[in-house]
Amino acid sequence: SDLQKKEERGELLQPLAFVLLVLCSVLLYFRVSLMDPGFVKPEGAEAGEHEAQSMALLQVPSGIQDIPTRRCGYCLLKQPMRARHCHLCQHCVRRYDHHCPWLENCVGERNHPLFIIYLSVQLLVLLWGGQVAWSGLNFEQSWDWLKHNALLLISFLLIVTLSTVVLLLLVSHLYLISCNTTSWEFLSHHRISYLRHLGMENPFDQGLVLNLWRFFC
């Protein structure tokens, strides 16, 4: 049969791989949206909290280590450096990057690497879906063609738009990661107490390789 011939030629592996990629994207979405992004815990709430703070201090440049730790005016917890209070989550988040409305969760110290992986997988899904949609379009200048292919054409244009948005978001995040800065620090540099006196200098930048290593590893 045709199905057996396609199986012998390996043509059934492509839709299976696409479905698995979509499933991986969905699982990553729920993982990133439901996990703790790095909420600051009350003092003594966790045994490993002091160890995490010590490790974080090792990565703080000596020039800004002397800046006193501030207490959050909302949740009244001591804020580690690079942490910020999120008014939507009602928590302070370590190495706060931004609050993502699509995830309904903050992107912070713990889930930021997974967020980058999720964006990468999502971009692959969109590009693959766009290629499939494009392959089904045989353009003809007629009303009948447009009437029968309108849904496919709209789907292709929507995929192109979403792919562009995801690509720009992924590239911008990879650039910030390579500089060891966050979206919040990049956009609010002049309002952050430990950065505003440095001008445009980034005290956390330790070089491309080390920045990427410390972020992903």
Average pLDDT over residues 137-165: 78
In the block, which residue shows the tokens 């991986």?
24
Residue 119 has pLDDT above 50, yes or no: yes
Distances from the Cα of 135 to the Cα of 82, 138, 152, angstroms = 47, 8, 10
Active site residue 100: yes
Question: Is residue 69 in a domain?
Answer: no
C-alpha gyration radius of the chain: 23
| Average of per-residue pLDDT across 135-140 | 68
Residue 44 lies in a domain: no
- Indicate which residue of 92, 100, 179, 217 is catalytic: 100
Number of domains in the chain: 1
Would you say residue 58 has pLDDT above 60? no
More confident residue, 105 or 190: 105
Average predicted confidence (pLDDT) for the chain: 84
Give me the pLDDT at residue 54, please.
Answer: 47
Task: State the burial class of residue 45 (Cβ atoms within 10 Å of its Cβ: 0-12, 13-18, 19+).
Answer: exposed
Tell me if 43 is assigned to some domain. no
Residue 47 lies in a domain: no
pLDDT (0 to 100) of residue 15:
83
Task: Give the range of the structural domain holding residue 115, as residue numbers without chain letter.
Answer: 1-34+110-179
Residue with tokens 């690079």: 82
Does a structural domain hold residue 52?
no
